[in-house]
Amino acid sequence: MSAKPSTDPRGAAVEVLLAVLGRGRSLDRALSEHGPGGDDPRDVALCRAIAYGVLRHHRRLGAIRDHFLRSRLKSRDQDMALLLEIGFFQLTDMDMPAHAAVSETVAVARRRGKSWAAKLINAVLRRFQRDSAACLQAVDADPGRSASVPDWLLARLRRDWPDDWPALLAAQNSRAPMTLRVNQRRISREAYRGRLAAEGIGARPLDGFEDALVLDHAVAVSALPGFAEGDCSVQDAVAQWAAPLLGAADGDRVLDACTAPGGKAAHVLERAAASLLAVDSDGERLQRVTETLDRLGLSAEVRVADASDPGQWPAAERFDRILIDAPCSGTGVIRRHPDIKWLRREADIAHLAVRQRALLDTLWPRVAPGGRLVYCTCSVLRAENEAVVEAFVADQDDVTVVPPVLPVGRPVGHGHQILTGEAGVDGFYYACLDKR
Ligand SMILES: C[S@@+](CC[C@H](N)C(=O)[O-])C[C@H]1O[C@@H](n2cnc3c(N)ncnc32)[C@H](O)[C@@H]1O
């Protein structure tokens, strides 16, 4: 039967998970479409916590479920299969009384008209409470199950990072901090930290990141003093290296070729009075760029275009600085978007590498002599980073590779790789290519 719109957080979480895992929606979109109907912020927070948590641990929770069920549930009962995962997640990872977790979870099955499943879920969750050790030992014997990662991604991470993959997997399942970029055109970082403290919001600077403040606890954006006036933006610290590495000066002509939603373009303009062309192939996402620039009191020329199409660029057009923040797998930001683990397919990686190379091939001739191109991704896969840049550089005779010197991460061939969780930041790759 089809479910009624849910006002309770667990029922809403079932709908969110069905949208992501059943229909391929992104988690952000699923939460906005299927979040709890009421306006109690505690319900919204609980639904989010459950949806994020179940997606982080989906494979492990599914294996726990399979351990207790004699046969798999039918595909029309995928809602009940996910409800069981929600039940296990509350019992293993959430700080709430077990009896409430069980009874509230069982109640969702009843509300969805599946009394048979209510009995089953009640029995299975109570068995798990009584005797979880043997089950967890069997499930966690396999690293793909214990870290809840698809086999193809696990194989790539092991191959790419033979010494680091266990820490990387753990970091991908952790909760990311909320980090701000202070607009030091308007207010110094220390002064803004003082404003946060006055509102009871603790924050600390991060070594090597000039504009970043990491909050002790995430808060609603509306609680940030001066946000609407442009005093700060929300942006992970590692993404705050793009602008300094690009090194645009006042008056430079800058192209941000993959700009939406505009975080890095705004940072470039906060640091220099440059003339910036902000391009993205997604017109809807570009609207967010305009909103962000307006809020920060910055301006740029904004254009919808496929930046990898040579026909977009007049032969004589040159830029002093070009940023390619390329479309990628997002494997460096899985802790913020755990849906990536289940929505990405291995075949996507090769397709992305082709698009990444096309952006480099088209835009390199647009870099002015003496200018710089920064290529970056929020991926931790060599196939999208070092492999793309290495092959590109091998085909050019006018590139000087400038190794980024950064306080976190490691040099990898032509660029610099930061793995998720190092110094608490997201996973990211940077390469700086200067035109001779
Ligand atoms: C990683 S996001 C960019 C994030 C952005 N730089 C920021 O800091 O907020 C990649 C963007 O590239 C855009 N994109 C993908 N292929 C493109 C292409 N061929 N030309 C222009 N934009 C493209 C996507 O629409 C997406 O908005």
Paired tokens of 331: 């494997």
pLDDT reported for residue 6: 64
pLDDT of residue 3: 46
Are the CB atoms for 87 and 94 separated by under 8 Å?
no
Q: Would you say residue 215 lies in a domain?
A: yes
306 lines ligand 1 (CB under 6 A): yes
pLDDT for 169 equals 98
**pLDDT, tens only, 339-381:** 999 999 999 999 999 999 999 999 999 999 999 999 999 999 9
pLDDT in tens, 296-329: 999 999 999 999 999 999 999 999 999 999 999 9
The one catalytic residue in 47, 328, 378, 432 is 378
Q: Give the Cα separation of 98 and 373 in Å (integer).
A: 54
pLDDT digits (tens, 9 = 90+) for 413-425: 999 999 999 999 9
How far are the Cα atoms of 45, 79, 172, 226 from residue 178, in angstroms, in the given order?
A: 16, 32, 15, 17
Position 4 scores a pLDDT of: 46
β-pairing, 209-215 with 179-182?
Answer: antiparallel
Give per-residue pLDDT as tens, 93-116.
999 999 999 999 999 999 999 999
CATH of the domain at 229: 3.30.70.1170
Cα of 334 vs centre of ligand 1, distance in Å, is 18
Q: Return all residues near 186 (Cβ < 8 A) that are at least 6 apart.
A: 226, 229, 230, 231
Note whether 275 and 190 are same-domain residues: no
- Mutual orientation of helices 151-160 and 165-172 as an angle, nearest 10°? 130
* Residues spanned by the domain of 209: 179-234
Ligand 1 and 264: CB distance under 6 A: yes
Residue 148, pLDDT score: 98
- Does 153 fall in a domain? no
Candidate of 26, 258, 363 to mutate for ligand 1, largest count of ligand atoms within 8 Å of Cβ: 258
Q: Indicate which CATH number applies to the domain containing 277.
A: 3.40.50.150
Q: Is residue 83 domain-shared with residue 123, that is, in the same domain?
A: yes
Q: Is the pLDDT of residue 265 over 60?
A: yes
Residue 263 CB–ligand 1 contact under 6 Å: yes
Q: Which CATH number characterizes residue 84's domain? A: 1.10.940.10
Please check whether residues 27 and 125 belong to one and the same domain. yes
Q: Would you state the pLDDT for residue 2? A: 44
Nearest to 323 by CA among 386, 271, 374: 374
Clarify whether 378 is annotated catalytic: yes
5 secondary structure, DSSP code: P
